[in-house]
A = this chain, B = another copy of it.
Amino acid sequence: MQVKNKNIFKFRSDCPISSALDLIGDKWSILIIRDLCFFGKRTFSELSLSDEKIAANILADRLKKLEEYGILTKGKSPENKKTVLYTITQKGLDFVPVILDLVLWGARHLDSHISAEAKQFAKKIKKDKDAVIMEVNKKLASTGQLR
Chain A residues within CB distance 8 Å of chain B: 11-22, 25-27, 30-31, 34, 50-53, 91, 94-95, 97-99, 101-110, 113-115, 118, 122
Chain B min CB distance to A32 (Å): 11
Whether B97 lies near A14 (C-beta < 8 A) is: no
In the complex, the chain B residue whose C-beta lies closest to that of A106 is B16
Identity of the chain B residue whose Cβ is nearest the Cβ of A110 in the assembled complex: B19
Chain B residue contacts of A21, Cβ below 8 A: 27, 30-31, 102
Interface SS majority for chain A: helix
Q: How far is the CB of A62 from chain B (nearest CB, A)?
A: 13
**Of B31, B97, B103, B118, the contact of A101 (CB 8 Å cutoff):** B97
State the oligomeric state as a number of copies: 2
Q: Which of B18, B31, B94 contacts A18 (CB 8 A)?
A: B31
Partner of A98, one of B16, B102, B114: B102
A134 to chain B, nearest CB (A): 16
- From known contacts A15-B52, A19-B114, A26-B25, infer whether A108 and B122 are also in contact, taking CB-CB under 8 Å: no
Beta-carbon contact of B109 and A14 below 8 Å: no
B103 touches A17 (CB 8 A): yes
Of all chain B residues, the one with the shortest Cβ separation from A114 is: B16
| Further 19 A-B residue pairs, CB within 8 A, beyond A12-B27, A98-B102, A98-B105 | A14-B113, A15-B106, A15-B115, A15-B118, A16-B105, A16-B106, A16-B118, A17-B31, A19-B106, A20-B105, A21-B30, A21-B31, A21-B102, A26-B27, A94-B105, A94-B108, A95-B105, A97-B104, A97-B105
